[in-house]
Structure 1
Amino acid sequence: MAVKYPVSRPWLAGQELAYVTETINDGWISSQGPYVRRFEEEFARYNGIAHGVACSSGTTALTLALRALGVGPGDEVVVPEFTMIATAWAVTYTGATPVFVDCGDDLNIDVSRIEEKITSRTKVIMPVHIYGRRCDMDAVMNLAYEYNLRVVEDSAEAHGVRPVADIACYSLFANKIITSGEGGICLTDDPRLAEQMAHLRAMAFTKDHSFLHKKLAYNFRMTSMQAAVALAQTERLDEILAARREIEKRYDAGLADIPQITLMPARDVLWMYDLRAERREELREFLAAEGIETRLFFKPMSRQPGYFDPRWPSLNASRFSEDGFYLPTYTGLTEDDQAYIVGRVRAFYEAN
C-alpha cells in the first residue's frame, strides 16, 4: 500500500510562499539576501540568545561550532553513543576523535558516565537532546566548568529547548520541527564565536574580498530562499510546538494500555514520537501494509563501520536500538489520523 501517513511531513502554513516570492522578485536569492539576517536575528531572539549564524545543514552547524572552538587533530570530543551519526561525523571532520558515552533510560547521554571518559585531550562535551528530550544540561555545564571544557549542544531535534551551552546547533532539514528544506543555524552569546563561525561558513574571505584565504574554511552558506522559509517557520514556532504537544498526548493516551508497547519518557518538545515494541519488525511490516510509515531508532555509534567497537552489544544504546522505533509525527497530523494509526497498532496485537 502507498504511504498515506509518512513519518514526517513539513507544515508550510504560514508566510513561506510569500517570503520566497518576495525573495525571487527582488533577485536576492543568494546568501547575501536580507532574509538570512532576518532569520538569524529572529531565531536568536526567540531563544533569548544574542547571535545566530545560519548555515547549510545541522551537520555543518556542528562542524562550524567545533572549528570556532579550536577543535582539531589530537583533540577529543565527548559524544553520545546513541545519536544520529552526523554528531560524530562533525567531530571527525575537524580531525578530532569522538569519545562515546552510553545513554540512560531517556536515550540521552548518561551524564554520570561522562567524567570517566575525560582525558587531557578532551576539549568539548557535545550532548544531544534526543527526539526532543532535554539532556541534563545543568550537570553537563557543571562538569565542563570543573574540567575547563567547552560545550556544544546538538539541538537538531529540539527546537524550543532553551540553549545554555557555548554554542547550540540546530538542523532545519525537512523532517525537523521547523524546516527550510535543508539548512541549519548556530546560536551563541559570544560575539567572537559568532564572528568566527560566520567567517568559516563563507570560505574565510577577508573583508576586502581579496581572494586571499588564510585558513581552511567552507562554503556552508544558507541561501536567502531557504532563510525565507525558515523565518516563516520561526514566526509560528510556538503554534507548531503546541500542536505537536497535542499529538504526543493523543499517542500517549491511545497506546498506554497496550501491554506489548513500552512508552518512552516525556519529551520537552516533540520531534518524533518514539516507543518500544515487542515483535517490532512484524509490527512495522503490518503498519507499512496499512500505509503507515515508521522509522527505526538510531544505531549505536560503536556499531557504525567507521567507529566499530566489538563491545557494543553490552551497551544500553544497543538494547534500545533492538526494539525501538517511531511513529508518524508531523504538525499536520489530525486526531482522526492518529486514531487510525493507534487502531492499526491495536489490531496487530489483537490478531497476534
Structure 2
Amino acid sequence: MSYTYPVSMPWLKGRELEYVTEAVSGGWISSQGPYVRQFEEAFAAYNDMPHGVACSSGTTALTLALRALGVGPGDEVIVPEFTMIATAWAVTYTGATPVFVDCGDDLNIDVSRIEEKITPRTKVIMPVHIYGRQCDMDAIMNLAYEYNLRVVEDSAEAHGVRPVGDIACFSLFANKIITAGEGGVCVTRDAHLAEQMAHLRAMAFTKDHSFLHKKLAYNYRMTNMQAAVALAQTEQLDTILATRRDIEKRYDEALRDVPGITLMPARDVLWMYDLRAERSEELRAYLADQGVETRVFFKPMSRQPGYYDANWPSLNASRFSEDGFYLPTHTGLTAQDQEFITDRVRAFYGVL
C-alpha cells in the first residue's frame, strides 16, 4: 500500500550525490575506497571517540563488537526484552546465549532487574537506546564495573547519543536518523577492539593477503559508495537532530490533551515518535485510510518463536506492545504534514 504520509523517508539534502558521483567516476566502488576511512573518522569524531569501524549493517556491527570482545559459546549476554530482534540475533550468531531483561516505563531495559540475571557466564551487558531514549548508562556502567563485564551499546536508533560503553553500534538503514541505505558502524576508545572488528569484517585476511585465514570471520564490509552517503549524512547530523527535535515538540503539543492517547517519555534524540493509544488497532486502520502509515512496537524477545519462553510472567514489554505504535517520523516531515496527521488522531477521539 502506498501512503501519502509514510512512516519514514531518507533525507538526502547534503553532498550525497556529489560524493557518490566522485566515488563512481573514480572507480572506487568497493570497500577499499577513501570514503570508508573518511566516514569512519568523521563519525567517530562526532561521537568523541578515536576509532570507527564501518560495516554492512547495524546487526553486523553488533556481531563484530561481540566477537571482538571474545563472546562465544558458553557465554551469556544481557539483552532487553523490548528491542528489535537483531539485538538478540547478534548474540546468537556468536554462539552465546541472550538473557532477557524486561523494560521500564520508558521502554528501555529496567536497570533494577539486570543484576538478578547476572551469572558466572555473563560476559556483556547490551543496552538498547529505544526510539532515541538513552538508557541509564551510569547505573549500567556501575554494574559492569562491579561484575567485571563489558558493555556494548545498541545505538541503532540513537545517533547523537554520546556512547559511554566499550563499543557502541549504529545502524545506517534507510529509516534511521542518518543512513547509507544499508550499513552500520562501531565506535570505541580501544584501539585493539577497533583493530579486531576491522579484521573480522574483512574475512580475517592476513597482512600479506596470503589466503590463510586463522579464524572464522565475515564479509561485513561497507562499500565506498555507501560510505560516501554516510559521510554526507554525518556532515548534516546536527541539523537533522535539531529538525527532528522540532517534530517531536509539534507532536507533543498537538497530542498531549487527547483523551485515549498516552505520550511516552521525552527522547534524547528523536528516531521515531512513539505513543500508546486506546483502540490502537482501530486508530491505525483509520489513519491508514487517511494515507497515514504507522508502525507497531517491537514484540518481546521471549515471545519470539526462536526464543519463546512459556514460563515468563507478565511483562511490561508485552503490555506496551499491545497498544503502542509510532507515527510518521522523518526529517522531511513538515509542520503541515504533522498538522494533518494530528488532526486525524484528534478527530478519531472526537477532539476538534
Normalised by the length of structure 2, the TM-score is 0.99
Q: Distance in 1 between matches of 2:18 and 2:5?
A: 28
Identity of aligned residues (%): 83
Equivalent residue for 2:241? 241
- Give the aligned partner of residue 106 of structure 1: 106
Equivalent residue for 2:169?
A: 169
Tell me how far apart the structure 2 counterparts of residues 176 and 106 of structure 1 sit (CA, whole Å).
20
> 1:272 maps to which residue?
272
Match of 2:87 in 1: 87
CA–CA separation in structure 2 for the residues paired with 1:313 and 1:119: 20
Which residue does 1:73 correspond to in 2? 73
Per the TM alignment, residue 42 of structure 1 is displaced from its structure 2 partner at its CA by 0.1
Which residue in the other structure is 1:188 paired with?
188
The equivalent of 2:224 in structure 1 is: 224
**How far, CA to CA, are the matches of 2:4 and 2:231 in structure 1?**
29
Deviations 1:217-255 (A, max 9, x none): 000000000000000000000000000000000000000
After the TM superposition, which segments of 4 or more aligned residues of structure 1 sit over 3 Å from their partners?
none
The Cα shift of 1:346 comes to 1.0
Partner SS state of residue 349, structure 2: helix
Q: Is this contact kept in 1: 2:54–2:184, CA < 8 A?
A: yes
Distance 2:349 2:258 in 1: 8
Deviation at 1:348, TM superposition (A): 1.2
Q: Distance in 2 between matches of 1:142 and 1:225?
A: 40
**Could you tell me how far apart the structure 2 residues matched to 1:257 and 1:312 are?**
35
Matched pairs, number: 352
Residues 151-191 of structure 1 show CA distances to partners (whole Å, capped at 9, x for unaligned) of: 00000000000000000000000000000000000000100
Aligned to 2:60: 60
Cα offset, 1:311, TM superposition: 3.6
Q: Deviations over 1:284-339 (max 9, x none)?
A: 00000000000000000000000001144600000000000000000000000000
Unaligned ranges ≥5, structure 2: none
TM-score for the superposition, normalised by structure 1: 0.99
Amino acid at match of 2:160: G
Larger mean Cα displacement after TM superposition, 322-331 or 303-312: 303-312
Distance in 1, matches of 2:260 and 2:81, equals: 26
Match of 1:308 in 2: 308
Contact 1:72 1:94 in 2 (8 A): yes
Query: 1-side partners of 2:284 and 2:107: how far apart?
Result: 21
CA contact (8 A) 2:141 2:165 kept: yes
* Alignment of structure 1 residues 330-345 onto 2, 5 Å: 330-345=330-345
Q: Secondary structure at the match of 2:350?
A: helix
Decide whether the 8 Å contact of 1:313 with 1:319 is kept in 2: no
- 2:32 alignment counterpart: 32
Q: Distance in 2 between matches of 1:89 and 1:52?
A: 22
Aligned-partner Cα distance in 2 for 1:58–1:321: 23
Q: What amino acid is the match of 2:262? A: T
Residues 300 and 312, structure 1, Cα contact 8 Å, conserved in 2: no
- Could you tell me how far 1:70 is from its partner in structure 2? 0.1
Judge conservation of contact 2:78–2:101 (CA < 8 Å) in 1: yes
The equivalent residue for 1:263 is: 263
Residue in 2 that maps onto 1:135:
135
| Residue 347 of structure 1, CA deviation | 1.2
**Contact 2:259–2:349 under 8 Å retained in 1:** no
Find the aligned partners of 2:86 and 2:129 in 1 and give their Cα distance.
Answer: 14
Partner deviation per Cα, 1:105-160 (whole Å, 9 max, x = no partner) = 00000001000000000000000000000000000000000000000000000000
Contact persistence 2:157–2:271 (CA under 8 A): yes
Query: Structure 1's 250 and 124: CA in aligned 2 closer, same or farther, altered over 3 A?
Result: same
Task: Write the deviation string for residues 2-45 of structure 1: whole angstroms up to 9, x where unpaired.
Answer: 40011100000000000000000100000000000000000000
RMSD of equivalent CA atoms: 1.1
Partners in 2 of 1:226 and 1:16 — Cα distance? Answer: 10
